[in-house]
Amino acid sequence: VVPDRKRILDVGEDALVTAVITRYGALPEHVLIGPGDDAAVLDIPGQVVASTDTLVEGYDFRRDWSSARDVGIKTAAQNLADIAAMGARPLALLVSLAAPGDLPSRWATELAEGLDDECRRAGAAVVGGDVSQATEIVITGSALGVLSGRPVLRSGARPGDGVALAGTTGPSGAGLALLTAGVATGDDAMLAELVRAHLAPRPPYPAGVAARIAGAHAMIDTSDGLLRDAGRIAASSAVSIDLDPVALTPGDALRHAAAVLHAGHAGMDWVLSGGEDHALLACFPPGTALPPPFRPVGRVLPVDLDHDHDPHTQVLVEGRPWTGVTGWTHFSR
Amino acid sequence: VVPDRKRILDVGEDALVTAVITRYGALPEHVLIGPGDDAAVLDIPGQVVASTDTLVEGYDFRRDWSSARDVGIKTAAQNLADIAAMGARPLALLVSLAAPGDLPSRWATELAEGLDDECRRAGAAVVGGDVSQATEIVITGSALGVLSGRPVLRSGARPGDGVALAGTTGPSGAGLALLTAGVATGDDAMLAELVRAHLAPRPPYPAGVAARIAGAHAMIDTSDGLLRDAGRIAASSAVSIDLDPVALTPGDALRHAAAVLHAGHAGMDWVLSGGEDHALLACFPPGTALPPPFRPVGRVLPVDLDHDHDPHTQVLVEGRPWTGVTGWTHFSR
C-alpha cells in the first residue's frame, strides 16, 4: 500500500475532516451526536468536568521523534489525565489541529488514530474537532468527564495526610534525556520503554475515581514534575509536603538510563523534576487503605514557618528543601 | 498608568495564569469549580453540547488590525455561536493560548477581558485554560452549553421548509475587504461598523434556543459564508436550498463599502460568500411563525437531480447556481 502523501492543503478542509472522522471507532452510548455537526451532544449523568491542554511542535513534540500516532496518544493522555485528577471519569475529547498546508494528510489521520486509541483506553471518545492553517503544528485537546460526588481539588490537603502516587514519575524525563542525547535504544528494552513513556504516556485513569471514592483530600496530575506539582497542592492547601526519597528510589530502568547518560543523580532528578509523566499525586486522610495502584510517597505537614511562602520551598524531600532542578516550566529560555 | 509591557516569558506560567484569571468576573452559579485547578466542574442541567474552534495569528487575525480584546471577543463568539447553532444555551468556555515568549503580558490579560466580555453577553463564563510557548499566536476555544430537548442538526431540513436567517451575513467580509484595502474609516460610521463586525462579531445567541423551541428542522452557524454553510445543510439533509436574492439585498453599509472599494457586486458577494459573520441559518417547517430576529431568506427544495451531488451546487440563488465566490475555506492558497 502506497502511503497517502497528499498535503492537507490539497485535500481541503471538508474532505480532511471526513477522512479524520472515519478513523474514529463507533461512538459510545453517552455520545448522542458525534463529530460532523456544529457541536457534539453528550449525555453526562453527573457534574461535568472540563479541561484543555495544548501541544506545540518543537516545544512539546518533534516530528522526527514522535509518530503522528504518538502525538495523538500524548494529546489525549495529557487532557484526559486532568479529568482523572479531579476524581472524575473521562468521557470525551475535542481536538483542534492547526497545521501547515503542506502537512501530509496521512499525518492528520494517524494523529486521529492515536487520539482514538488513548481515548478508548480511558473509556472516552473523540467527539469533535477543528482544523486550521498555521505555520507550525499546534494541537489543542479539550477533555470532558463525569463526576459523581465532590471533586478532588488541589486545595484540600491537610497536615497528617499521607501522600501517594499512582503511576511513576521519572520515565518521561529520562526518555526525553535519552532522545536529546541521541542515544539509540536499539535492543535495550529498558531504554526503549523510557522513550515510549515520553512519547506516548499512558496515565492510570481509573486511579482518579478510585482516589475520590477512597476519600482523597487533594489530587493533581504530575505534568510538570513531582516537586512542582506537589508544590501546587502545597500552595493551594497552605501546607508543606515532605516526600520520602526511599519510596521514590529510581527503578532499574531509570538507574540504567542515568548510567548510560553519565548522569550523576542516578535517576533521582527525573523522579523529582521530570515532566509529562501524568501520574496522579494524591493526599489521603491518615489510615486510608490506598486504592491500587497508589503507593505511599510522603506526608503532609503544617507549613514550615521558617520558610517563606514561595510554593517551591513548601515541598521538602526527607525534611529538607531539594536543591536540584524543580520542574519543567513553559516559557523557559 | 504605565501599561504593563512585561513579556509573558518573564512573568512565568503560574503568574500569567493568575493574572489572566483575575480578569474574569464572578463565576455564575452553574460553575462549581472555575479556573485554577486541573479542570473545571460544571452543573449542566440537561444534555451537554461541546465544540472547539481555533484562531491563528496571520490567518484568522492580525495584531495590527485587532486589539487583544477584539481577538478575545472573536474567539468567544466563534465558539459560542456553534453552541447556539445546535439550539442550545452557551454556558462555558475553555481557552488555550499558545504564544511567543515575547508577547506582552498585557496582551494576554486584554485577551482575557475580551473573552470574558463576550462570554457574559452570551450568558457564559470562561472556566479554564492553558498557556504554552509557540512561534505564532494560536488561540483555541472550547465551548460548552446546555440543551433541553432535541438538538437542531444540519441534517434535518426537508423540502418545503422555509429558510431563515438571524443576524446578517456580509458585514464581516466587507470589513475584511476594507481592512485589506487599507481604507481608513475615519468618521464614516457605516464603514467603521463593518470593520467592527469583522474584528469583533457579536452573534445572536438567544436565537439558537428560540429556533429550537419554534421547531427548526436544521440549523448552522454561518462561519464560512452563507452559500458554503447553506451547502452543508443541503448536503447533510440531501436537499437543495434556494436563496432569495431580494431578501438578501445588501443593506446601505454594504452598498456604501462596495462603492468605496469599487466592487462591482454592490455587496452581494459579501452577503453570499463572506465568512465569519456567525449569523444563524435555520430551516423551519412551512407556516412557522419565525422567532425574532429570524427573517425569511429562501426555501428548501428536493435535490435537483440535474445537478450532481457536489454540495456547492445544491445551493441556488433564485433557482440558479451562483457563479461568484463560494465562501471562505481554510487551507487556501
Q: Say if B55 is an interface residue toward chain A (CB within 8 Å).
A: yes
What pLDDT was estimated at residue B72?
98
- In this structure, what C-alpha cell is assigned to residue A190? 529498558
Q: What is the CA radius of gyration of chain A?
A: 20
Classify residue A158 as exposed, middle or buried by CB count within 10 Å of its CB (0-12, 13-18, 19+).
middle
- B14-45 burial, b at 16+ Cβ within 10 Å, e below that, comes to bebbebbbebbeebbebbbbbbbbbbbbbebe
Q: For residue A32, give the nearest of B47, B98, B140 by CB distance.
A: B47
Task: Give dist(CA B277, CA B224) in Å, integer.
Answer: 8
Task: Give dist(CA A216, CA A237) in Å, integer.
Answer: 13
pLDDT band per the 50, 70, 90 thresholds, residue B194: very high
- Average per-residue pLDDT for chain B: 93
Q: For residue B138, give the nearest of A48, A53, A98 by CB distance.
A: A98
Given the C-alpha cell 520558610, which residue does it identify? A307
What pLDDT was estimated at residue B13?
83
- CA A60 → CA A56, A138, A140, A277, distances in Å? 5, 9, 12, 13
Q: What is the mean pLDDT of residues B300-327?
A: 74
Distinct helix (H) and strand (E) counts, chain B: 10, 13
Task: Give dist(CA A300, CA A285) in Å, integer.
Answer: 10
Q: What is the mean pLDDT of residues B220-225?
A: 96
Q: Say if A276 is an interface residue toward chain B (CB within 8 Å).
A: no
Q: For residue A48, give the nearest of B42, B53, B96 by CB distance.
A: B42
Q: Say if A315 is an interface residue toward chain B (CB within 8 Å).
A: no
* Chain A CA closest to residue B311: A14
Reported ipTM: 0.93
Has residue A332 got a pLDDT over 50? Answer: no
Query: Are residues B142 and A142 in contact, defined by beta-carbon separation less than 8 angstroms?
Result: yes
The verdict on a CB contact (< 8 Å) between A140 and B331 is no
What pLDDT was estimated at residue A306?
60
* Chain A CA closest to residue B32: A47
Q: Say if B98 is an interface residue toward chain A (CB within 8 Å).
A: yes
Identify all chain B residues contacting A154, using CB atoms and an 8 Å cutoff. Answer: 37-38
* Chain B CA closest to residue A13: B330
The verdict on a CB contact (< 8 Å) between A88 and B151 is no
Q: Which chain A residues in 174-203 lie under 8 Å from chain B, judged by CB atoms?
A: none
Identify all chain B residues contacting A331, using CB atoms and an 8 Å cutoff. Answer: 8-9, 11-13, 16, 101, 131, 133
Lowest mean pLDDT among A11-15, A34-38, A54-58, A156-160: A11-15
For residue B35, the 8-state DSSP code is B
pLDDT band per the 50, 70, 90 thresholds, residue B1: very low
The verdict on a CB contact (< 8 Å) between A329 and B142 is no
How many CB contacts within 8 angstroms connect chain A with chain B?
A: 234
Q: For residue B54, give the nearest of A50, A53, A140 by CB distance.
A: A140
Q: What is the mean pLDDT of residues B69-76?
A: 98
Q: For residue B52, give the nearest of A37, A85, A130 by CB distance.
A: A130
* Chain B CA closest to residue A85: B38
* Chain B CA closest to residue A139: B140
What pLDDT was estimated at residue A15?
87
Residues B129-184 have pLDDT tens digits of 999 999 999 999 999 999 999 999 999 999 999 999 999 999 999 999 999 999 99
Q: Percentage of chain B surpassing pLDDT 90?
A: 85
Q: Pick from B196, B169, B189, B119: which is nearest to B298 by CA?
A: B169
* Chain B CA closest to residue A92: B50
Q: What is the mean pLDDT of residues B98-118?
A: 96
Q: How far is B218 from chain A (nearest CA, A)?
A: 11
Q: Say if A21 is an interface residue toward chain B (CB within 8 Å).
A: no
Has residue B2 got a pLDDT over 50? Answer: no
First to last CA, chain B: 44
The verdict on a CB contact (< 8 Å) between B55 and A132 is yes
Classify residue B305 as exposed, middle or buried by CB count within 10 Å of its CB (0-12, 13-18, 19+).
exposed
Q: What is the mean pLDDT of residues A112-116?
A: 97
pLDDT band per the 50, 70, 90 thresholds, residue A331: low
Q: How far is B252 from chain A (nearest CA, A)?
A: 31
* Chain A CA closest to residue B95: A52
What pLDDT was estimated at residue A12?
84
- B66-98 burial, b at 16+ Cβ within 10 Å, e below that, comes to bbbbbbbbbbbbbbbbbbbbbbbbbbbbbbbbb
Task: Give dist(CA A277, CA A201) in Å, integer.
Answer: 6
What pLDDT was estimated at residue B326?
62
The verdict on a CB contact (< 8 Å) between B13 and A329 is yes
Classify residue A117 as exposed, middle or buried by CB count within 10 Å of its CB (0-12, 13-18, 19+).
middle
Q: How far is A11 from chain B (nearest CA, A)?
A: 9
Angle, helices B189-199 vs B252-260, to 10°: value is 100
Q: Say if B220 is an interface residue toward chain A (CB within 8 Å).
A: yes
